[in-house]
Chain A
Amino acid sequence: MVEEKLLLDFALSVGEVMTKNGAETQRVENTIEIILSKSRYNLMPETFVTPTGIFASINGPLHGTITKVKRVDRRTINLEKVSAANDLSRRFVAGEVTLRKAFEELSEIETRPTYKTITMVITHMIIVFSFTLLFSGTLNDALISSTAGMVLGLRMKIFKKIRLASFVRGLAASMMATATILLWYHFGLTDNYEIIIVGALMPLVPGFAITNAAKDVMYGDFISGSARMLDAILTAVFIAAGVGIMLTGYNYLMGGAVL
């Protein structure tokens, strides 16, 4: 009986790590059910996963029904952790790791460090630089937009400490990027700020939410799918609002005839 409870604990913890770091609903449900099928008994596992919470119940012969609920908050995107947790569950089911070892490994996965801030800053600069060139900006535009990318890379460090809703983060980030670009524009270093802003917005667009929403809806997980779709729409609206606020503010300060 103890063993079954531990197994349920483990399955839910794996599910939590995967959901938290951006796995699709169907993958999490499958993983939990496969882990629970590892028991000696037929536990008849049932799971229900949404992006904000995980429910799982088992029905063993020695005890009644056990149901556990786990609330998931602070979602980020870290596909390496998803992949590692997935791998761990596979090896656990194949019998290569014991339950105790698997728990240890899971907590190692959970606390695995992400990239350093400097790597993130350089990556954002490269992303924004390439997109500005792809949207037919000049080299000058690309260099200017990569300073906005620098700001976007630094924001990840700042937002790690402050707890904000993800939409407010998007709003703040797009305002910061637009402000940087408008500063250059103000000093006359560039003329076509539009292309630069569009390039600098690319790291913020809700591509992840769109892809995952599509997958979830396709697998029939309508609750997760519509939740993610709402996330995508709201993120897009807030990012656009951030740019709009900054542009209007600049226009207002400069007397209304600049943009």
Chain B
Amino acid sequence: MTQPYYIQFVLAFLASLGFAVVFNCPKKACFTSGIGGGFAWVIYVYIYLKTMNEVLGIFVASLFAAAFSRFFSYRHMEPSTVFLLPGVIPLVPGSTMYHTMKGILDSNIFETFMEATKALKVAGVIAIAIMIVFVLPYSYFAIGKQKKPRF
């Protein structure tokens, strides 16, 4: 998280693009979902560095990723998961999971508890952000013109 933002954007873009390929997203959608993932990560890092509140950063970034996915699912006529998943995955608490396990191994109850709580908080916040965006009516995201379906 110490690199300049544009480098982080590129790295997060590459990672999200990779996830889009691993999950076999439709080929035309891969690039777009990579862009979404890059922006979501940059938003998270920006808010985290400004406020030093990791959960808030994850929340706003997940809100962005969910809104992005709904907007582009309308434009490209694809299921929204195609765009949502690669955008959200960089935010999933992988490192907290590792540190929870490390705490258990070292019998460090304090670290275990702290990291486990953080992992649950982050996962819950991602879920809540997705729910908030997906509760909104579809028409809110039907902006601009729709691309022609492939057939």
Binding site for B on A (CB under 8 A): 22-24, 27, 77-84, 86-87, 91, 96, 114-115, 119-120, 123-124, 126-127, 129-131, 133-136, 194, 197-198, 201-203, 205-208, 210-215, 217-218, 232, 236, 239-241, 243-244, 247-248
Contacts and interface: CB of A to CB of B under 8 A. Distances in A.
Contact of B11 (A134, A240, A244): A134
Interface string B118-133: 0100010011101100
Nearest to A114: B24
Interface of B: 1-3, 8, 11-12, 14-15, 17-19, 21-27, 29, 41, 77-79, 81-82, 84-85, 88-90, 92-95, 97-98, 100-102, 104-105, 119, 123, 126-128, 130-131, 134-135, 149-151
A102 B11 CA distance: 41
Contacts of A198: 94-95, 98
A124 B130 contact: no
Given A87-B149, A130-B14, A214-B131, 20 more contacts: A79-B23, A79-B24, A80-B27, A83-B78, A96-B151, A114-B24, A115-B24, A120-B21, A123-B22, A129-B14, A130-B18, A134-B41, A136-B2, A194-B102, A205-B94, A210-B88, A211-B127, A213-B127, A236-B97, A240-B101
A210 B123 contact: yes
Nearest to B27: A80
Which are the 6 A-B pairs with shortest beta-carbon distances? Answer: A214-B127, A127-B18, A240-B101, A207-B89, A130-B15, A130-B11
B126 to A, nearest CB: 6
A9 to B, nearest CB: 23
Contacts of A126: 14-15, 17-18
Contact of B26 (A79, A206, A218): A79
Nearest to A135: B95
A123 B105 contact: no
Contacts of A120: 21-22
Contact of B79 (A27, A114, A201): A27
A240 B100 contact: yes
Contact of B8 (A24, A87, A134): A134
Contacts of B77: 87
Contact of A131 (B25, B29, B90, B104): B90
B92 A207 contact: yes
Contacts of A201: 94, 97-98
B74 to A, nearest CB: 14
A165 B118 CA distance: 28
A241 B123 CA distance: 19
B97 A127 contact: no
Contact of B81 (A24, A123, A124): A24
Contacts of A129: 14
A33 B127 CA distance: 27
A95 to B, nearest CB: 13
B140 to A, nearest CB: 16
A205 B89 contact: yes
Given A77-B23, A80-B25, A218 B15 contact: no
